[in-house]
Chain A
């Protein structure tokens, strides 16, 4: 630095004018700190000190040491350059050895880091599961009597375990495959267990945190103290607080006092209630609870006031903060503390559930501890606030390398691995070995008990003389004996299965089955949990809110057990809802839709029968089911939002319901109610899926219509899975993106509902449209008028609806007046129904009662029985269940007679409408898709494969998956575009009429989606401001297009150009350099039938190619990312410019390598074709394809290598060589230059300094 500084200051002396000063500190040019002019700025702000610049940069949080850090001048935006200062005795030419050494050193360093990371991840990802597997096998061997499954070969037993088939002399491949199998098995287990553990833990946590849980505990075991004790302790607390308050009044602000006073008031009220708490009814109880809640407030304040006494007076700010946080319960307190506060909260809510010294002294102690801790932590917040900003950073900087060092030090890795293995061993021993051991015992006991019970039962049957009764009966009714025979055979089958399993179990024969192996452990677990659950009931017997449990240890145990029981319940319910339901729905969909559509209506399940790994099947079912449920929920939401009256679907909870408290509900409602609710929804789903879809796919099409439409044509087997993916994924996204298609679908549904409701006279109930003609029916003179001349009959009565009649009146009038053939007879009733979907459950029970026009009940409500029913549904904890009744409201609507049957008919009609919609859409999509595919494919009819597809798709009468998917996409896209076009037209017209286009469009009604208004808004903007910016929409659109283009370009580059070049280069190498007789062609890699070979042929060439291919993919991803990042940094114009450059580069590359060689090769083929003529080749193209695909696999003895043949394979490598070699050379020389510079900086670098900008610039 010193040398350079002198040098540069000398440089500056003449250029810096006399009054030159630094633009930041206004200091002058001194020899210690010379002035520089590093940017284009002129005048008084030309010069700057290096230290000032660095300070300014540092204040902007830019780290200069980071590579790529760039400083720009604030004013002229010229990026400021630094130059490295070198040692004085640096040689002019850096020795080559030094360069190599430093380069290798840095490369080695990076390689080491990479190896470390790779090793750590391998140990973690591969090692742990394999260790798990081995340990599990060892334990299993121990449990099965310590004998090796494969006699005399420990390692083989360890590898194969209790596998049914073990090869005699396993090859390397066999071993690798077996390891892979073990790995997969263990990984599944680990993932499954981890998920379960995490889920259970979170469930437990959530349950314990849930306020209702504490109330339930209170309900079960009551308070620890009775009323009097509590009153005295409260009294003490009051006094304490009052004393504190006195002290505080002198120093504290008014709001706090108010807080305290409020708390005090409540506290006194509470005392009163406590005293008079002899009688106990629901409401009173709730109110005491609430008061208890407010007590917390008091105690918090008490605590924190206590804190303040310990504080220094000058830290009033901090203590005020803590007061604020305590009055709003728990904000801004760090976790640990909060936990403790929470605990206290729980403690005081129910007077110590956690049970330990819960008197006031403890509280005070606790508070003091808190205070002390806070004081320890104080420096970070309080007086040292200024240092605080710097401190964590420093700590972080010191810590970070340490963390990495600990994690990735080479030698430590095996130790960590060993520690993990030891942990796994202990874990497995505790959770698998011991439970299995115990479970075997338990199972023996259970089976013995079962056998005894069974024997007793048989004895009972004999004693009761049932056999003689049976003999007598069967003599009289011979059919009974046949039934008995059938039952007997069934029972024998079941019995033999059970005995088979049992004997297998006893004889250790079921070692291969994972399920069988886990049965003993499961038995232990379920027994344990059963005991645990039952024990909570037993423990809480005799205790209650009035009679609290006193023993704190017992309370603690109960609390723990009860928490486990509740979390199990919640876990079970959540599991059923989140996993069981979707899987079941997926199974049903497979049964009723996928299997009959894709295979045959005789086949039961498609995915279940596939030959794939079984967990994958379940996951697939789960995914399918989840998607179906999502779709169904979306449909229901659509109907609810746009079509039907709010309140019709009150039984399907909507997401904005205040009464949705899933955890709360699952905790509080008895299991019986919950299971029945779940069963009901499963039934509904089953009905919708199995009948809704299955009727068409399994009965209507194949059996009634005998149609050939189903199953779909599946000529494209290899695309099957993509098809499923497309079904699941694409429509979801596409329908999301294409709102207008949804719009049309919604319109269809509105019409469908209107029509069916009108026919069923349900408009008032379903749609909230009070149509007077629906309020009754028309009686006709006779059937003739009713069915053939109904219109005429209606016209014959001028006041048909105005003057309604009763049936008897109508009868008489028909007789009296021969002119009139129809009368209107009103019937049905008015009914109270829910007015929205958010009403509480209990309120529903009081609805659906008939009322008069004046909204008076026709018969009084049976309030008692309703209450009884509510209570029964809510279970033991009903009084804890406070539902929000904010939205409880009803409306009065008209309901026709036979309401239930009408409603069911409506459902049926909706189903018919749905079927019509789905089938029409499917057929239409199929047609459009086929049309499109044929149009796209017909130019390629020369290609054999394409011709095959073309022929398949040309059959417009058959249906298959791909055309449907493509057709759906095209149709949706089309409607969207059409809609947009229409909207812009409308907006334009409206704008022309009156300027408030945006408002006008908005007032047009809810039909239009908000995003359709965007064009209007843009339009307005453009009109208003002369220099309005580009509409956001268009900018986004441009950006998206750009990236799509970029992505496509990369794809073209890597898939076609490099592929073409690489294919021929590798062929060239294999044919002419390695002289391999039948070279392996890359082309085959991309055709599916060669994938089968992939598993069997593990040749070195394949590995090489695989590596190369991975490199391809990685390189393309990195390249694409880089260019996209670069693009993102650029402005709009530059972006287009650089895109142009990229395109030009790409085109150059394409044309000069693949294009040119293809052209030359074609020329060669033409020459060849002209030379040899039709007998050898049919056309030029066939010559090309012969040379390209057949020639390489023929030996020279079969077809001699002629010069054109050789040239054919030489041209591409030569061309790509001439194109790529300079580039490679350039990158190599760049690398060398860079490493020379690096070496120079590393070895001789002595810091950096600013550079002056030459005056001319």
Chain B
């Protein structure tokens, strides 16, 4: 099982190194453990997160790609779909068996067809278009919905802070 996962992760890494999408850098933290990756995601333009660079870890299960990996923002960022502990809640990261919110379509959820690249792209699109319907951070949801300006201000502030200003 683990061998397949390793092989597949290696292939994906190769693919990513060959042509990685804009604004995304990802790779294993150390050479001897392919199951823990570090990623850098830049905030998509025309979004509150523009200009920020966010650090996230990807934790792959042993039976990858049958089960989805776990994506954790370190440190967490203010976003309706990111739990306060940094865990990302998007449908592509949920395996078809478990549906925490009961309204995700089966084809939106994890399938071996997906890949690290696709996950990170979805995260980027999530950053630019939060989905308040299935919120993970209720405060962020309310803020985003009710006073967008305040939300953007807080995000900007945290970005500046993370960049060391």
User: CB within 8 Å of B: which residues of A?
Assistant: 21, 23-27, 41, 45, 52, 55-56, 59-60, 74-75, 77
Whether A25 lies near B66 (C-beta < 8 A) is no
Contacting residues, chain A, for B15 (C-beta < 8 A): 26
Q: Is B153 an interface residue (CB 8 A)?
A: no
Proximity bits, B3-20, A CB within 8 Å = 1, else 0: 010011001100100000
One of A21, A24, A77 near B112 (C-beta < 8 A)? A24
Proximity bits, B36-73, A CB within 8 Å = 1, else 0: 00000000000000000000000000010111000000
Contacting residues, chain B, for A23 (C-beta < 8 A): 112-113
In the bound complex, CA of A594 to CA of B11 (Å): 84
Contacting residues, chain A, for B11 (C-beta < 8 A): 21, 25-27
Least CB distance, A571 to chain B, in whole angstroms? 48
Whether A24 lies near B65 (C-beta < 8 A) is yes
Whether B113 lies near A45 (C-beta < 8 A) is yes
User: CB within 8 Å of A: which residues of B?
Assistant: 4, 7-8, 11-12, 15, 63, 65-67, 96-97, 106-107, 111-113
Contacting residues, chain A, for B112 (C-beta < 8 A): 23-24, 52, 56
In the bound complex, CA of A23 to CA of B96 (Å): 17
In the bound complex, CA of A74 to CA of B12 (Å): 20
Whether A60 lies near B97 (C-beta < 8 A) is yes
CB contact under 8 A between A59 and B107, given known A24-B112, A25-B7: no
CB contact under 8 A between A55 and B111, given known A25-B4, A27-B7, A74-B96: no
In the bound complex, CA of A24 to CA of B7 (Å): 11
Whether B106 lies near A74 (C-beta < 8 A) is yes
Q: A24-B112, A56-B112, A74-B96 provided; 4 other pairs, C-beta below 8 A?
A: A25-B8, A26-B7, A74-B106, A74-B111
Contacting residues, chain B, for A75 (C-beta < 8 A): 107, 111, 113
Whether B107 lies near A74 (C-beta < 8 A) is yes
Contacting residues, chain B, for A74 (C-beta < 8 A): 96, 106-107, 111, 113
Between A26, A52, A74, the greatest number of chain B beta carbons within 10 A of the residue's beta carbon is seen for: A26
| 30 interchain pairs, CB-CB under 8 A | A21-B11, A23-B112, A23-B113, A24-B8, A24-B65, A24-B112, A24-B113, A25-B4, A25-B7, A25-B11, A26-B7, A26-B8, A26-B11, A26-B12, A26-B15, A27-B11, A41-B113, A45-B113, A52-B4, A56-B66, A59-B63, A59-B66, A60-B96, A74-B106, A74-B107, A74-B111, A74-B113, A75-B111, A75-B113, A77-B107
In the bound complex, CA of A23 to CA of B114 (Å): 8
In the bound complex, CA of A1076 to CA of B97 (Å): 66
Between A45, A56, A74, the greatest number of chain B beta carbons within 10 A of the residue's beta carbon is seen for: A74
Least CB distance, B10 to chain A, in whole angstroms? 9
Least CB distance, A28 to chain B, in whole angstroms? 10
In the bound complex, CA of A1228 to CA of B8 (Å): 51
In the bound complex, CA of A182 to CA of B81 (Å): 73
Least CB distance, A1133 to chain B, in whole angstroms? 18
Q: Which A-chain residue is minimally distant from B9 (CB atoms)?
A: A26
In the bound complex, CA of A24 to CA of B8 (Å): 8
In the bound complex, CA of A23 to CA of B112 (Å): 7
Q: Which B-chain residue is minimally distant from A51 (CB atoms)?
A: B4
In the bound complex, CA of A55 to CA of B113 (Å): 13
In the bound complex, CA of A23 to CA of B118 (Å): 13
Q: Which A-chain residue is minimally distant from B15 (CB atoms)?
A: A26
Least CB distance, B79 to chain A, in whole angstroms? 25
Contacting residues, chain A, for B106 (C-beta < 8 A): 74
Between A21, A25, A41, A45, the greatest number of chain B beta carbons within 10 A of the residue's beta carbon is seen for: A25
In the bound complex, CA of A26 to CA of B5 (Å): 10
Contacting residues, chain B, for A77 (C-beta < 8 A): 107
Contacting residues, chain A, for B63 (C-beta < 8 A): 59
Contacting residues, chain A, for B107 (C-beta < 8 A): 74-75, 77
Contacting residues, chain B, for A60 (C-beta < 8 A): 96-97
In the bound complex, CA of A552 to CA of B11 (Å): 75
Q: Which A-chain residue is minimally distant from B96 (CB atoms)?
A: A60
In the bound complex, CA of A41 to CA of B114 (Å): 13
In the bound complex, CA of A688 to CA of B93 (Å): 67
Q: Which B-chain residue is minimally distant from A23 (CB atoms)?
A: B113
Whether A55 lies near B66 (C-beta < 8 A) is yes
Contacting residues, chain A, for B111 (C-beta < 8 A): 74-75
Least CB distance, A55 to chain B, in whole angstroms? 7
Least CB distance, B157 to chain A, in whole angstroms? 35
Q: Which B-chain residue is minimally distant from A59 (CB atoms)?
A: B66
Q: Which B-chain residue is minimally distant from A77 (CB atoms)?
A: B107
Q: Which B-chain residue is minimally distant from A53 (CB atoms)?
A: B112
Q: Which B-chain residue is minimally distant from A72 (CB atoms)?
A: B106
In the bound complex, CA of A59 to CA of B7 (Å): 19
Contacting residues, chain A, for B113 (C-beta < 8 A): 23-24, 41, 45, 74-75
Q: Which A-chain residue is minimally distant from B1 (CB atoms)?
A: A55
Contacting residues, chain B, for A26 (C-beta < 8 A): 7-8, 11-12, 15
Q: Which A-chain residue is minimally distant from B12 (CB atoms)?
A: A26
In the bound complex, CA of A59 to CA of B110 (Å): 13
Contacting residues, chain B, for A45 (C-beta < 8 A): 113
In the bound complex, CA of A643 to CA of B7 (Å): 75
Contacting residues, chain A, for B66 (C-beta < 8 A): 55-56, 59
Least CB distance, A208 to chain B, in whole angstroms? 43
In the bound complex, CA of A55 to CA of B64 (Å): 11
Least CB distance, A19 to chain B, in whole angstroms? 10
**The 8 A-B residue pairs with the shortest CB-CB distance in the complex, in nearest-first order:** A26-B11, A24-B112, A74-B111, A59-B66, A45-B113, A23-B113, A26-B8, A25-B8
Contacting residues, chain B, for A52 (C-beta < 8 A): 4, 112
Least CB distance, B119 to chain A, in whole angstroms? 15
Q: Which A-chain residue is minimally distant from B110 (CB atoms)?
A: A74
Least CB distance, B40 to chain A, in whole angstroms? 23
Contacting residues, chain A, for B67 (C-beta < 8 A): 59
In the bound complex, CA of A320 to CA of B66 (Å): 33
Contacting residues, chain A, for B12 (C-beta < 8 A): 26
Least CB distance, B64 to chain A, in whole angstroms? 10
In the bound complex, CA of A751 to CA of B112 (Å): 69
Least CB distance, B104 to chain A, in whole angstroms? 13
Least CB distance, A916 to chain B, in whole angstroms? 53
In the bound complex, CA of A134 to CA of B8 (Å): 73
Contacting residues, chain B, for A59 (C-beta < 8 A): 63, 66-67
Least CB distance, B160 to chain A, in whole angstroms? 39
Q: Which B-chain residue is minimally distant from A41 (CB atoms)?
A: B113
In the bound complex, CA of A25 to CA of B63 (Å): 11
Least CB distance, B35 to chain A, in whole angstroms? 16
In the bound complex, CA of A75 to CA of B118 (Å): 14
In the bound complex, CA of A719 to CA of B97 (Å): 54
In the bound complex, CA of A1005 to CA of B113 (Å): 57
Q: Which A-chain residue is minimally distant from B111 (CB atoms)?
A: A74
In the bound complex, CA of A1060 to CA of B145 (Å): 68
Least CB distance, B17 to chain A, in whole angstroms? 14
In the bound complex, CA of A27 to CA of B111 (Å): 17
In the bound complex, CA of A321 to CA of B112 (Å): 36
Least CB distance, B145 to chain A, in whole angstroms? 16
Least CB distance, B69 to chain A, in whole angstroms? 15
In the bound complex, CA of A549 to CA of B142 (Å): 70
Contacting residues, chain B, for A27 (C-beta < 8 A): 7, 11
Q: Which A-chain residue is minimally distant from B97 (CB atoms)?
A: A60
Contacting residues, chain A, for B96 (C-beta < 8 A): 60, 74
In the bound complex, CA of A23 to CA of B111 (Å): 10
Between B4, B67, B97, B106, the greatest number of chain A beta carbons within 10 A of the residue's beta carbon is seen for: B4
Least CB distance, A488 to chain B, in whole angstroms? 84
In the bound complex, CA of A291 to CA of B150 (Å): 58
Least CB distance, B103 to chain A, in whole angstroms? 11
In the bound complex, CA of A26 to CA of B115 (Å): 10
Contacting residues, chain A, for B65 (C-beta < 8 A): 24-25
Contacting residues, chain B, for A55 (C-beta < 8 A): 4, 66
In the bound complex, CA of A644 to CA of B106 (Å): 54
Least CB distance, B1 to chain A, in whole angstroms? 9
In the bound complex, CA of A548 to CA of B124 (Å): 78
In the bound complex, CA of A27 to CA of B113 (Å): 13
Q: Which A-chain residue is minimally distant from B7 (CB atoms)?
A: A25
Contacting residues, chain A, for B97 (C-beta < 8 A): 60
Least CB distance, B158 to chain A, in whole angstroms? 34
Least CB distance, A259 to chain B, in whole angstroms? 30
